[in-house]
Amino acid sequence: MTHLTTHVLDGSAGAPASGVDVRLLDADGTTVASGRTDADGRLALGPDELSAGTYALVFATGPYFAARGSETFYPSVTVSFAVADTRAAVAGGARVSIIPTAGEAPSTTIARPAPLSWRIRLR
């Protein structure tokens, strides 16, 4: 079971963002895992368990919008996060969702199930 999932919605189209390349990086910038969002804009990636540490998800939003004939303010979106308790990461996993819009700053939501519930929205 993968314990890191992501969901990308195209705010311009009001639909899932299919075909967005995503990379999971560790604190040193080494790629831990990578993949591409499916038809529903979802992707499960990473090892079965993330060790404690700092990670980043890098979403290739520029190529996604360019393929659709749109410009975007951000060529990529990077969301950094920390895993402090691997037991909690295994028990509940983590989900990172973004809603990029062509020509504007994206909205970002990071959610983690209880007991470590938190949600961050960046605008």
* pLDDT value of residue 118: 34
Percent of the chain with pLDDT over 70: 73
Identify the band that residue 14 occupies on the pLDDT scale cut at 50, 70 and 90.
confident
Name the residue ranges covered by the structural domains of the chain. 4-122
Tell which CATH classification among 3.30.420.10, 3.50.50.60, 2.60.120.330, 2.60.40.180 matches the domain 4-122: 2.60.40.180
Identify the band that residue 119 occupies on the pLDDT scale cut at 50, 70 and 90.
very low
Beta strands in 38-103 (DSSP E): 42-45, 53-59, 77-83, 94-99
pLDDT digits (tens, 9 = 90+) for 48-79: 777 888 999 999 999 999 999 988 888 899 99
